[in-house]
Structure 1
């Protein structure tokens, strides 16, 4: 009896102990052999990823940088490579082929009068040397019968865009890289909803990474009003969060197939200069009316098809006289057979005989563009680069400082805009051609983003761009060699480190 009681007591004690201290499963021990297996596996994956980089990364410096880091330090570089490493967007090529086929069908259904009107606008051999290679480079014709108006700041830009949207009767196309749900964003939303409720076809395309902070409520209000809403994403769903390349950086508004707006502005209060510390914001847009608006619609249709798997409703510009300006649309992106954006800058610089003035928020040129700038200086061309004095991304700012120092040493005149952040993307070639659009002077615009530039050949338009840039240079400080050499040693080292990231900036 006593022994049984004792056994029972022991069993009760064990139960009590288990209830107080439950038995936990043993975790596998990280023995030296397990650690070695993990390290070997990471290095094997690193070698595989390095081979992938060598085969796919567009530039030799970029391939060397990725391959070296993946082989030697795969534990630090594998995840960044998954996020930043891809530089070709093969999937978009198939979408482009199908979309182009559908667009050819649309052209074939045009009436004889419409085809004659469009054919009359073709410019087979532009007088301006900077435009002669562009039709074959882009696959888009050079067109006359256009009128282009410069919009020199955010107030002028959105006043013109909102007025055009309010007057729309058939179709409105809106495409931006960034849209905020602040005062300006809500104003755009209100006007788009009003047009959609009035029976106008409204298309709203936004980049899923650029608009990562845009609330679902903003988009739902557009959809409930009848707006066609799509996001541009390189991959569907959660996977897109890990792919920061291949962003759609274009900013485009088209109204009734007749009027279009292109430039550097996104939608947000900062673009009106209402958000310190980068205020006042300096940016430029253009308003285009005429035959070339059809080509802008074609470019939007390509992006829309990728996002929605359908071709949007397109309108031909009316067959009437708009103006005597010649325009060339230069869409570019990672699905291009050639590096369209980089070659566009090369062509503009090498064609300059008197001056080439370029403004860009980021100055991280590749070797081809750098060589063209140096050669232009040797030809006696007035080469000027206008960049910001205030940084919005410190790594890019550091790398830009190194490249600016090298350009100054080669004879390029480099200026830093003082009043606020400079975001405009403008090129002036001599006295008869100028380009405005979305492309920056960096590898991301050259090879990784979808961009849009519009080259306009006309002395009056070039004169208006020159007048605008002269006012900007008057508010800028020309830098010299001491801007870099006079910086503290630790800061110069940091700038050189930032330059190592040039292939992904």
Structure 2
């Protein structure tokens, strides 16, 4: 087992942590390693390879239909477009966007979209709860199905562990097709519970889509007393980029159910705006650590500004180095994190990494108007990203994530105004915050940092 961890763990830090644990505390570490120690999602890769010939006609059809909207690589393009090499999806133009701030705006917009669905709905979330919002979504999906619209619901079994079977039975009886990403009943997959499908992806009729940080639950509407106001961001896309979000769902559904859905690939209502978008699905089935490389390239491509918001700050050495170098160039780097944590171990670990980069000029802010959960980046004055990936090792290596990187001055300015409002409700973290903490707190932080590879 120790040799396996040494040979297969992607990061040096993770390999050392597992090696020491397995040799020192085998009775505790061996069972944990079965569930938490893997860094590749067995089965998804082989499923992707086995279905590559089946997917090829769909990919060819998508590429043909969006051919006129593909942004041709050039020497003058934004450096961040190098991220297209991390996936099979091109950068496309001709997209219309809408920024959705917080839960009410997001889910009102999604439910309005569901009412207008004509052919099919692809609905995917990490967490779905059987509460007020969950029942609104359930009823909206059932209404679609009763109108003859095909509805496909995909959720993560671990994230939605509390979802009652009666909720799913009601959907099934109404004709909604339901699937769990982690495949209940498959014993082999029981040892892959550390991998999560963290994507939030809604596609309607192949021409309108939503993605972002929200899950389906009342807490995302700010109704959970522990956190109060829940600060999160989603976005709506219309245009050729929707096909990439549809392809992401198609691949996830094929893994979960072993079937390829018959969907619409022709572009029927090209938007009258011209935002350029790269949709980037990332995950542990990728050959490279795509989510991490996306963050690194975004940081490296910045010339004047890189603002990042994330509920967690547990990066690895590559991201730390990229932030340090960018700060030394005089770039305005601001990272917005919650003041109120939802996971105390992650909260502790963040102190160690903040201590690594704040001395060179990276500014950290703690959001104090509730809980911050959004995953947003702003790069200079013309690039922005909205998605599901956090700035932590779990998103880098263990989760399936989904991010839309947008090149559009108008949208970037909307994101800038949104983040400026967030910063106005935040407190700047002092450079000496960590060093002024009691010695026992600093010790806890150092111990917590050892768990960073699996957080």
Q: Give, in whole Å, the separation in 2 of the partners of 1:251 and 1:380.
A: 35
Name the SS for the 2:434 alignment partner.
Answer: helix
Match of 2:278 in 1: 328
Distance 1:321 1:363 in 2: 36
Deviation of 1:405 (Å):
2.1
Question: Match for residue 431 of structure 1?
Answer: 381
Alpha-carbon distance in 2 for matches of 1:100, 1:141: 18
Q: Which residue of 2 aligns with 1:150?
A: 99
- Specify the SS of the correspondent of 1:483: coil
Q: CA deviation at 1:95?
A: 1.3
Look up the match of 2:268: 318
Contact 1:263–1:437 (8 Å) recurs in 2: yes
Q: Name 1:54's counterpart in structure 2.
A: 6
Find the counterpart in structure 1 of residue 243 from structure 2. Answer: 294
Partner of 1:375: 325
Q: Does 1:402 align with 2:352?
A: yes
1:79 aligns with 2:31: yes
Task: Tell me if 1:457 matches 2:407.
Answer: yes
Structure 1 or 2: more helix by fraction: 1
**Residue of structure 2 in register with 1:222 after alignment:** 171
Identify the residue that residue 499 of structure 1 maps to in structure 2.
449
The 8 Å contact of residues 407 and 414 in structure 1, kept in 2 or not, is answered as no
Q: Which structure 1 residue ranges, 4+ long, deviate > 6 Å from structure 2?
A: none
Counterpart-to-counterpart distance in 2, 1:496 and 1:380: 29
Give yes or no for contact 1:164–1:255 (8 Å, CA) kept in 2: yes
Q: Compute the displacement of 1:272 (Å).
A: 0.3
Whole-Å separation in 1 of the counterparts to 2:165 and 2:147 = 23
Q: Is 1:263 paired with 2:212?
A: yes
Provide Cα deviations, 1:227-248, integer angstroms capped at 9, x if missing partner: 0100001674456555332110
Is the Cα–Cα contact under 8 Å of residues 146 and 289 in structure 1 kept in the other structure?
A: yes
> Is the CA contact 1:289–1:322 (under 8 Å) kept in the aligned structure 2?
no
Counterpart contact for 2:387–2:402, Cα < 8 Å: yes
Q: 1:117 to 1:239 in 2, by over 3 A?
A: closer
Question: Is the alpha carbon distance of 1:399 and 1:116 closer, same or farther for their aligned partners in structure 2, counting shifts above 3 Å?
Answer: closer
2: CA distance, partners of 1:162 / 1:431: 32
If each structure's strand is expressed as a fraction of its own residues, which one has the higher value?
2
Measured against aligned partners, the alpha-carbon deviations of 1:193-221 in whole angstroms (never above 9, x if no partner) come to: 11111110100000010011100000001
Equivalent pair of 2:310/2:374 in contact (CA under 8 Å): yes
Q: 1:286: Cα distance to partner?
A: 0.3
Aligned to 1:493, what secondary structure does the other structure show? helix
Whether the 8 Å CA contact 2:231–2:373 is kept in 1: the answer is yes
2:108 pairs with 1:159? yes
Q: Is the 8 A contact 1:128 1:433 kept in 2?
A: no
Higher relative contact order (CA 8 A, sep 6+): 2
Residue in structure 2 matched with residue 309 of structure 1 by the alignment: 258
Say whether 1:417 aligns with 2:367.
Answer: yes
Work out which of the residue numbers 31, 40, 47 in structure 2 matches 1:88: 40
- The superposition leaves residues 419-464 of structure 1 with CA deviations (integer Å, 9 ceiling, x where unpaired) of 1110000011000100000000111000111000000001001000
Name the counterpart of 1:5.
Answer: none
- For normalisation by structure 1, the TM-score amounts to 0.87
Matched, 1:201 2:153: no
| In 1, Cα distance between equivalents of 2:236 and 2:354 | 31
Measure the CA separation in 1 of the matches of 2:263 and 2:419. Answer: 35
Q: Which residue number in structure 1 is paired with residue 69 of structure 2?
A: 121
CA 1:448–1:468: 2 relative to 1, 3 Å = same
For structure 1, list consecutive stretches of 5 or more residues without a partner in the other structure. Answer: 1-48
Check the 8 A contact 1:128/1:432 in 2, yes or no. Answer: no
Higher-Rg member (1/2):
1
Q: Any stretches of 5+ residues in structure 2 without a counterpart?
A: none
The question of 1:484 aligning with 2:426 is answered: no
The answer to whether the 8 A contact 2:239-2:269 is kept is no
Separation in structure 2 between the aligned mates of residue 373 and residue 479 of structure 1, nearest angstrom = 17
Q: Do 2:95 and 2:270's aligned partners in 1 also have CA atoms closer than 8 Å?
A: no
CA distance in 1: counterparts of 2:441 and 2:216, whole angstroms: 34
Write the distance in 2 (CA, Å) between the matches of 1:71 and 1:473.
46
Q: How many residues align?
A: 453
Q: What are the Cα deviations for residues 58-88 of structure 1, in whole angstroms up to 9, with x where unaligned?
A: 1111011101110122122112111211111
The question of whether the paired residues in 2 share the 8 Å contact of 1:99 and 1:301 is answered with: no
Question: The residue matched to 2:43 in structure 1 has which SS?
Answer: helix
